[in-house]
Every structure is written in C-alpha cells, then in structure tokens.
Amino acid sequence: MQSLRDTSSNNLTMRRARHVREWLAEASQEPVTVLLLGIKDLKQINDRLGRAMGDAVIRRVGQQIRAFAEQQLSPIRLMAKMPGREFMLVVDGNAGGKQLELAAQKLLEMVSVDLGEGAAPLHINARLGIALSRPTESRPNLAARAADALAKAYGRKGKRYVVAEAQAPFNPAMEQVDVALRSALAAREIVILLQPQFEVSSGRLVGAEALARLNHPQLGEIGAGDLFASADRCDLREELSHLIQDKAINIAAAWPAALSDLRLAVNLGAEELTEYYGAHLLELVAQAGFAPERLTLELTEESLIRDLERTAGQLELLRAKGMRIAVDDFGTGYSSLAYLKSLPLDYLKIDKGMTPDIVGTGKDRIIMRAIIAMAKALGMAIIAEGVEKAEELEMLRAEGCDYFQGFLRSPPLAPAEFERFALRAN
C-alpha cells in the first residue's frame, strides 16, 4: 500500500483516519512504535477563542508534527490526523529506551511552541501515548494500547507522556470498539435513532429521544452504552456527544411542517456542561434552524450536582431561550435531592429499571408513588422509560405519570421510519 509507506523525508503527508483503518487492516508483523498525540485543552480553545482558532491550532500542530517527523532517523510508516484532537505517528522499529523518551520530549516541545496569531501567545497542553509493538500482536491491539496510554497521560500531571506496559492485559472486544469509535467519529458515521415519546393520558405522540448507534461490519450494532464507555476510555466523550447532538438536531430540523409540534430530547454528559456550553448549543440550534423551545436536554444527576452554581447558570441561559431540562435516569444516581430545588428543571425521567416496580406491591410502588408526588409538588412532569407492558402503563396513568416511552408502543426508529410513524400516529 504505497500511499501509506512513503517515508521520504521530503514528502511526508498528513493522512486521514481512513488511512489508519487501512493500516490497521494490514497483517504485517514488522516492528513499529505508535505515538498518539492529543491536544488536551482543544475544547477550551474552541470555547474561548472560537472554532476557527481551534481549527487553526490543529493545522499548526499538524505542521509541527510534520517537522518533527522529518527530523527523525527512523522512517515514518504513517502520519495521520485522528478524530477530534488527536494525531497518530507510526515509526519503524520498537527499540524503546532513552532514544524514545528523548523523541517524545522533543515532539511535545515542538507542538508546545506559541501557536497564536499576532501579539496574543497561545500554547497548548499536549499529551502523548506511546506503544511498542509486540511479536504476533495485531495492529488494532497495538493502537488500543497507545490509546490507553494517552488516556492515562491526559490525567497525569508533570510528565506528559505515558509508554504502554509491554504485557498489559487488554480486552479484545473493547479494543475493537475503541478503534471503531475513532474511525466512526472521523467519518461522522454515528447513526441516530429516535425513541418515540407519548402522553400517558391520551396516547398522543409528543416527541422523541435521540439515541446513538454504530453499525459496524464486523462487530454488528454497537449501542450507546458501549459507545460512551469507549469514548471515556479514549477521552473522546465530548466529541461523541457533540456529534450526536449535531446530527439529531439537524434531523429534527428537517421534520415536515405536520410534525412541528413534536419535541426532541438529547442527552448531555457531565463533562460538557462548562461555562461555554450554553452558547455553543444555541449556536448549533440556530445553524440547524431548529426552534430552541422544541428541545429538551436530558442530564444525569451526576451532571447536575457536579458544580451546582455553574450548572444553574448554564441551564437558566438555555431555559430562557425556551429549552426544557430533564433529569435522566432518576432514582439510580445520587441520594441528595438538594439540586431539585436549586436548579431550573422541567421533567424527572424515571429510569427504565424502576418502571416494572409500578405494578409491584408494598415498598416498590410506594417509592414510585412518592417520586411522582414529589415531582408534581415541585412543578415537574414525569417521564417513564422502558414501558413494555399494558399493566405498567395503566398503573402509571393511575399514579399521575405524564409521559412514557418504551417497546409497548414503539422501539427506537430510524429517522425516516420515525417520520412515517409520526405522520400516521398524529
């Protein structure tokens, strides 16, 4: 594959993630070293200075990496821009030792120069994960070890690079998902499904929750739980969540006029709710042409209580534009309920694991009844997840639940299927 093996120092080209997929698919056992470099503070740069500056920083980091590669004695097997904030270098040989440490330090120094424009200096916080190939090791396994080392480097203070342990045990299934996620983010291949939501009292369709999937040719369908677990291992949660929100909002913006009364719910993670998130989301909604008053943000209890003051400010900003806020998976997280009175909330969403309790006896139903009563007293509506049986829906109706979703009425649907379903339903 000549395009990946051009090691001429005068013709080093920054490849794209698809070239990484091609390299991973090769069966060669030649000894190599993988260096995975990440820009730890790229999101802060995007939020503070704008995405144009963030893109400029990525370009300049790429230029510095190319300059570094041209200085190396070992031939460069592959140099590629990865999803989000990462770059990959594959270098011939796997000797390691002092020479590798010096090279890592040199690379980090070169990308840490002033990358700003004009009088304002701009320095990035870069981290490096390194993995030396092992005999008979597959390339996906090698790439996964480099990603694991980078994840450790992101959380380390002082020394900014980590060399993967030579004999570290890895779960092959996890490694495959991590590689698939990185490629899917680069190609924007995450699929959005829409879970219909209904009013309990009337059965009327009122909206949909956006869910993420990845359809992989070897691994099959990868659900949101596995995708976000992989994103956490690879430190790509923000990139994954932002892509899901972007795609889902643009899908809903294209719904026909007959569905203009339907709401869209998107999930929001704990790491995203920074002081800049509200402005970012409002910009995304405006670009898509979607009415903000039709959008619901679903946040876990962990997201809400991590920084109550900052959280309250961001949610007030978004609510002032008409968005609604839901507590997702209520009943599975923190026991403190102080945030319920401190934050601007519109819905409590009962975790699907609790829904069967509504048809139980004794304590189960008492707890469910208490949750619904508390939400009503605080002026919030209740959404029940995972409703699969008619008797569950009847009990929810009797207890005063407002909305529900689940296989009783519909599984998650592809966007085109959801449109047809919605047009028939209402």
Would 47 be classed as within a structural domain?
yes
Q: Given the structure tokens 């296989």, which residue do they identify?
A: 407
150 and 198 assigned to the same domain: no
285 and 410 assigned to the same domain: yes
Q: Measure Cα distances from 268 to 103, 191, 235, 245, 359 in Å.
A: 39, 17, 16, 9, 30
Would 161 be classed as within a structural domain?
yes
On whether the CB atoms of residues 161 and 106 are closer than 8 A, the answer is: no
**Chosen domain end from 170, 202, 217:** 170
Where residue 426 falls among pLDDT bands split at 50, 70, 90? confident
Q: What percent of the chain has pLDDT over 90?
A: 36
Would 216 be classed as within a structural domain?
yes
* Range 164-167 contact pairs with CB under 8 angstroms and sequence separation of 24 or more: 164/129, 164/130, 164/131, 164/132, 166/132, 166/134
Average pLDDT over residues 140-154: 85
Question: Between β-strands 220-223 and 205-216, what pairing exists: parallel, antiparallel or unpaired?
Answer: antiparallel
214 and 261 assigned to the same domain: yes
Output the pLDDT for position 283: 93
**Chosen domain end from 114, 149, 170:** 170
219 and 151 assigned to the same domain: no
Nearest one of 19, 21, 54 to 39, comparing CA atoms: 54
Give 171's contacts (C-beta < 8 A, 6+ positions apart): none
Give the pLDDT confidence of 77-101 residue by residue, as tens digits. Answer: 888 888 778 899 998 888 777 788 8
On whether the CB atoms of residues 92 and 74 are closer than 8 A, the answer is: yes
Give 373's contacts (C-beta < 8 A, 6+ positions apart): 400
- Which parts of 173-332 are beta strand (E)? 191-199, 205-216, 220-223, 263-268, 295-300, 324-330
**Chosen domain end from 140, 170, 200:** 170
For residues 188-212, one letter each, b for 16 or more C-beta atoms within 10 angstroms of the residue's C-beta and e for the rest, the string is eebbbbbbbbbebeeeebbbbbbbb
Q: How many residues does the chain have?
A: 426
304 and 373 assigned to the same domain: yes
386 and 363 assigned to the same domain: yes
225 and 165 assigned to the same domain: no
Output the pLDDT for position 19: 79
Give the pLDDT confidence of 123-137 residue by residue, as tens digits. Answer: 778 899 999 988 878
On whether the CB atoms of residues 223 and 231 are closer than 8 A, the answer is: no
Output the pLDDT for position 239: 87
Give the pLDDT confidence of 303-361 residue by residue, as tens digits. Answer: 776 667 778 888 999 999 999 999 987 866 554 577 788 888 999 998 777 777 677 66
Nearest one of 10, 21, 230, 324 to 1, comparing CA atoms: 21
Would 420 be classed as within a structural domain?
yes
Give the pLDDT confidence of 270-296 residue by residue, as tens digits. Answer: 667 777 888 889 999 999 999 999 999
59 and 128 assigned to the same domain: yes
156 and 195 assigned to the same domain: no
256 and 288 assigned to the same domain: yes
151 and 192 assigned to the same domain: no
Q: Say how many domains are in the chain.
A: 2
Say which CATH number the domain at 299 has. Answer: 3.20.20.450
Output the pLDDT for position 6: 40
pLDDT of 68 higher than 80: yes
391 and 354 assigned to the same domain: yes
Phi, psi (deg, nearest 5) at residue 61: -65, -40
Would 34 be classed as within a structural domain?
yes
CA-to-CA distance for 351 and 332, rounded, in angstroms? Answer: 7
Domain range for 200: 182-425
Would 175 be classed as within a structural domain?
no
Say which CATH number the domain at 148 has. Answer: 3.30.70.270
Residue 133: how many CB atoms within 10 A of its CB? Answer: 21
Would 380 be classed as within a structural domain?
yes
Q: pTM of the entire structure?
A: 0.66
Would 177 be classed as within a structural domain?
no
